[in-house]
Amino acid sequence: AAGVIQSPRHLIKEKRETATLKCYPIPRHDTVYWYQQGPGQDPQFLISFYEKMQSDKGSIPDRFSAQQFSDYHSELNMSSLELGDSALYFCASSKVTGEDTQYFGPGTRLTVL
Amino acid sequence: SQQGEEDPQALSIQEGENATMNCSYKTSINNLQWYRQNSGRGLVHLILIRSNEREKHSGRLRVTLDTSKKSSSLLITASRAADTASYFCATDAGNNDMRFGAGTRLTVKP
């Protein structure tokens, strides 16, 4: 079965650079979630989108922005990168049916040098 | 395909009953972790079991790992309404390559 796809899987950037992470949800899923998991930490919810509109906002820094496109894929844009942004970024998708089970992608590992 | 598959995807029980959730995976792992998620927010780490361990307890939680069957189970005993949440397993195959399963939505009715 098709799963959530994230690209790239690994990304190395320097401080103050920008990064764009992409997430392709499972076909026919209409909701996308972004999470950040720092070393030794629990995944923290950043932001979610439903039908291309922001549906919920968590601990997303102002330097980050995200959007969901007409094909339901989502991009997380990160600017002025800091060392502390080094983390595993997970995307999850779901279909609003009442169950709302989230399916996680494999994650993008961002390393900021 | 997903690394981990939760079984069942949804589980509804009465308060006081036990809840068992299963997780299967496909590749070799270093450890397997169970997480809890409330209302689509961040995940909270519950328990980690290493590949050389077979069973682990934490309060009302009991986790088993069968590496020969590539499966794990999470048992919550004497469930409470506050246990209502989604539960995910995540496998770590090394190099911090974590793969989350599909999750089980547990509803505990008072």
- A59 chain-B contacts, CB cut-off 8 A: 42
Burial bucket for residue B79 (CB in 10 Å: 0-12, 13-18, 19+): buried
Q: Which of B8, B40, B7, A19 is nearest to A6 (CA)?
A: A19
- B42 chain-A contacts, CB cut-off 8 A: 35, 42-45, 58-59
Chain A interface includes B100 (CB < 8 A): yes
**3-state class of A1 per DSSP?**
coil
pLDDT in tens, chain B (110 residues): 234 566 778 899 999 999 999 999 988 999 999 999 987 678 899 999 999 999 999 999 999 999 999 999 999 999 999 999 999 999 988 765 678 888 899 999 99
Of B35, B41, B96, the CB nearest to A88: B96
